[in-house]
Structure 1
């Protein structure tokens, strides 16, 4: 490819709405152009990146035995009503009507359609296991699309769905996909972690996220540097931080804490460590009984330096149907006090108390006195209040003990892939059955496996960029090599050598572009540093007089002066190291 025959349109400034590096740089490099909020045109350079990502995914999925098909973007509402997700999915599901006023959706995912295919196409245990996948446009009507391709409304995704005879073989399919994903992300050239995760709205009982490590990531990953343990912070077990409960040494005392409505302020006022304080979080659950709504108020207690983990709470007994923050009126009615001074002692009405594992082992701690401007000091379980229900309620913090020894660390990541074991979550709802070896109907066991193709391109940039632009991993760069001839239009020697090297690299299968545009060298170099091609070869009259060309890597910025007749060989060897 010659640059004069390609479309290259770089910008000096990013649009004002571009908040993160990937959005800024993809726009400036001419890889995407905004059509509407969260909806983008992939320009030629950006599309090349997507196609390379897709090719790696498709190759590894095929190697793993998955079979490609293509499901529609527009799906009938009947299937979503049948699965129960027509209402459950929420406002991100874009519902539309055709000219006959029939309901459809723009698919955010394809569990319903693929299960419908399976129940109509698969009849016997002899047809199982099978794994279907496709790479298709998805749409999720984000309330606030932002960060370019990181959280857009329209995006490209690979989703796969496995069908098995029983849970054991379904777990084998899950493991097969897990290994395929490991191979995919290694080939993409990204630093990543596979972490245990919550199944979320997809459902199921086993789940792993694949997270690209980046400081700008929205997710927090908990890991042990000394082992393979890794989990999303939503799922990471937070251990009790005390080996045993120390005996009480202080009397229960009500102390004035005017204006100190937060644990940090209380600790400062009383000259005590923040770890001596207990934070109160009041939640409510609503259940329907005999046509009436019954509301249960819960008091959750975590140490003052910790935060409640909402996902963990949702899995507690009594919270299965959902929960919410209690209203101020409910809090005042239950505790006799406004928020900021709440605690488990002397509540106005009985309340169900659940203490985090660490709080349950604390002694002489500080909590709200259910009276504005006052807290209790020297609080002890068993003496001052009943023993609580104990549960893991909190987020892990950096330095917590790891479950298998050592200390836990936390880093940020961007979720780009997710694998789920679904079991019969969808096959039961849509009655996707087959005849087993005994001729009896049985529900298919399912798994689903997603990769955000367009999101990978953005995540790769968040992980790999500098102040000059993008630094693509070789495997997904729009071009592997750019040849920058100085004076291509004016020097026969430069043009001849550039054309010859270009032909040699092309013959070796290198994805190379020759920049034959009549522009200043500084502008040419700036364009390619912004675009992020891994290897740049500079050819000029001055170097050719000495029989050399200059070859430079984008990541290291180091350059080598190479003999003209060794240019192709040196470049091929260099690419193998990237």
Structure 2
């Protein structure tokens, strides 16, 4: 490729709406162009990266035995209604009508469509297992699109779906896809971690997320350096920090705490450690049926811990909760938030204590009266024994659930997710096959996604410096850029540039020649911004000495390489 025949369009400054590093650098490097909120055109430079990502994904999916097909972007509402997701998905699911008034979804994912395909095509156990995948445009009507390709509304995703005879077969298919994902992310050249995860709205029995490690990541990843344990924050089990409850040693006392509505402020006023306080979180479970009664819940956590909302949703009765309004709180507790507690509520509430809180004694909690807290509160004596659940986020230093060390936390960007779905969709859509005994049985499903376009943003968040992007060679728009000094003015430079260009092309190297006639400073700045991992400078001075200058994108200085050795030198760098 010659730069004069390609489209190179860089900016000195990022647009004002670009918020994070990857968004800014992709805009400046001319890889994407904003069309609307959360919607981008993939410019030629960015599209080259996307195609390389897709190629690696295709090769590893094919190697794992998955079969490529292509499902439509627009899907009939009837399929989504079969599984109940037409209503459950909420406003993120873009709904449209055709000219006849029929409802359709702009797909965010394809579980319904692939299940419909398979239930009409697969009849016998002899046709199983099977795994179909496609790489297709998706659309999710994000409430607040941001961060460029990291949280856009339109994006490209690879999703795969396996179908098996039984649970054991599904688990084998799941492991095949898990291993394929490890191979894919290794080939991308990215530092990543696979973590146990919650299945969330997609349903099923087990899942893992694949995260690219980055300090700017939105997700907190929990891991143990002494074992293989790793999970996202939502799925990480938090141990109780007190082995057993000590007997009461203080009387229950209503203590003035004027203006102190935060546990930190109460602890400071009373001269107590924050870990001696208990915070109250009030949730409301609305009635499942019209006319039914709503139920108020009080969740209790230690003052220095935070509620894990996913764990809260797993408490029986709290599957569909919301945070209570201030009006509802005042009606139940007789006071505004800041002084709430489990003792003396104005009307009955269901109380759930985190594992650690359940073993606390002589703790501080709200007195349900403005300006007052109780000290010396104890279970059994002052408050009925609670329902006990794991409610909190883990913190650094917690014991690992596998008992092999302590937990650490790092940030990550989710770019892939594998799920064991079981019969979540096959049951709703009656996807059955005849088993070895000739009896109908439900297919066991798995689904596996990779955010193709999100990989670009995640890779940049992990690989950049003050000059621009630093792409891993496997997904860079070009592996090598040749920067001739005076290509249009020096016959010697032009001849050697063309010779090296041809040699690298013949060796299968993805190389571009910057023959635009730009000044050296402009050339270097452009390709450092774009992030091409290897650069060769061809100049008359070096040629007279029989050498060229090589510089890796992360190298602090250039390295002279003999003219005759440069092609082989570059091949060695790429193989390394």
- So what's the TM-score if we normalise by structure 1? 0.98
Give the corresponding residue for 1:62.
62
Give the corresponding residue for 2:332.
334
Measured against aligned partners, the alpha-carbon deviations of 1:369-413 in whole angstroms (never above 9, x if no partner) come to 111000011222222222211110001112211122221111111
- 1:355 lines up with 2:344 in the alignment: no
Question: What SS class does the counterpart of residue 380 from structure 2 fall into?
Answer: coil
Question: What SS class does the counterpart of residue 502 from structure 2 fall into?
Answer: helix
In 2, distance between residues paired with 1:143 and 1:554?
38
In 2, distance between residues paired with 1:300 and 1:368?
13
Measured against aligned partners, the alpha-carbon deviations of 1:477-496 in whole angstroms (never above 9, x if no partner) come to 00000011111111111111
- 1:372 lines up with 2:385 in the alignment: no
Give the corresponding residue for 1:565.
564
- 1:73 lines up with 2:73 in the alignment: yes
Measured against aligned partners, the alpha-carbon deviations of 1:115-153 in whole angstroms (never above 9, x if no partner) come to 000011001110000000000000111111110000011
Counterparts of 1:14-93 in structure 2 under 5 Å?
14-93=14-93
Measured against aligned partners, the alpha-carbon deviations of 1:264-296 in whole angstroms (never above 9, x if no partner) come to 11011111111111000011112246x522111
Counterparts of 1:37-436 in structure 2 under 5 Å?
37-288=37-288, 291-320=290-319, 322-403=320-401, 404-436=403-435
In 1, distance between residues paired with 2:570 and 2:361?
67
In 2, distance between residues paired with 1:105 and 1:347?
46
Question: What SS class does the counterpart of residue 294 from structure 2 fall into?
Answer: strand
- So what's the TM-score if we normalise by structure 2? 0.98
Question: What SS class does the counterpart of residue 429 from structure 1 fall into?
Answer: coil
Give the corresponding residue for 2:537.
538
Question: What SS class does the counterpart of residue 481 from structure 2 fall into?
Answer: strand
Give the corresponding residue for 2:490.
491
Which shifted more, 24-33 or 329-338? 329-338
In 2, distance between residues paired with 1:546 and 1:564?
9
In 1, distance between residues paired with 2:430 and 2:390?
36
In 2, distance between residues paired with 1:501 and 1:238?
59
Measured against aligned partners, the alpha-carbon deviations of 1:283-322 in whole angstroms (never above 9, x if no partner) come to 1112246x522111111100011111110011111123x1
Measured against aligned partners, the alpha-carbon deviations of 1:134-189 in whole angstroms (never above 9, x if no partner) come to 00000111111110000011100000000011111111111111111111111111
Give the RMSD, CA atoms, in angstroms: 1.1
Displacement of 1:28: 0.6
In 2, distance between residues paired with 1:545 and 1:288?
83
Counterparts of 1:452-531 in structure 2 under 5 Å?
452-531=451-530
In 1, distance between residues paired with 2:456 and 2:331?
52
Count of residue pairs the alignment pairs up: 575
Question: What SS class does the counterpart of residue 90 from structure 2 fall into?
Answer: coil
In 2, distance between residues paired with 1:99 and 1:346?
60
Displacement of 1:239: 0.5
In 2, distance between residues paired with 1:385 and 1:82?
46
In 1, distance between residues paired with 2:377 and 2:217?
40
Question: What SS class does the counterpart of residue 258 from structure 2 fall into?
Answer: coil
Displacement of 1:534: 0.5
Measured against aligned partners, the alpha-carbon deviations of 1:465-523 in whole angstroms (never above 9, x if no partner) come to 01110000111000000011111111111111111111111111110111111111000
In 1, distance between residues paired with 2:288 and 2:190?
49
Measured against aligned partners, the alpha-carbon deviations of 1:189-241 in whole angstroms (never above 9, x if no partner) come to 11111011111111111111001111111111111112111101011001011
Displacement of 1:359: 0.6
In 2, distance between residues paired with 1:104 and 1:349?
46
Displacement of 1:243: 2.1
Question: What SS class does the counterpart of residue 428 from structure 1 fall into?
Answer: coil
In 2, distance between residues paired with 1:272 and 1:533?
57
Question: What SS class does the counterpart of residue 109 from structure 1 fall into?
Answer: coil
In 2, distance between residues paired with 1:304 and 1:128?
53
In 1, distance between residues paired with 2:12 and 2:293?
60
In 1, distance between residues paired with 2:291 and 2:356?
37
Give the corresponding residue for 1:550.
549
In 2, distance between residues paired with 1:480 and 1:288?
57
In 2, distance between residues paired with 1:288 and 1:141?
27
Question: What SS class does the counterpart of residue 70 from structure 2 fall into?
Answer: coil
In 2, distance between residues paired with 1:410 and 1:399?
9
Q: Which runs of 4+ in 1 moved over 4 A?
A: none
In 1, distance between residues paired with 2:288 and 2:273?
43
Give the corresponding residue for 1:447.
446
Measured against aligned partners, the alpha-carbon deviations of 1:22-44 in whole angstroms (never above 9, x if no partner) come to 11111110111111111111111
- Segments of 5+ residues of structure 2 without an aligned counterpart are none
In 2, distance between residues paired with 1:8 and 1:197?
41
In 2, distance between residues paired with 1:328 and 1:179?
49
In 2, distance between residues paired with 1:272 and 1:41?
57
- Segments of 5+ residues of structure 1 without an aligned counterpart are none
In 1, distance between residues paired with 2:570 and 2:149?
32
Which shifted more, 100-109 or 239-248? 239-248
In 1, distance between residues paired with 2:512 and 2:261?
63
Question: What SS class does the counterpart of residue 343 from structure 1 fall into?
Answer: coil
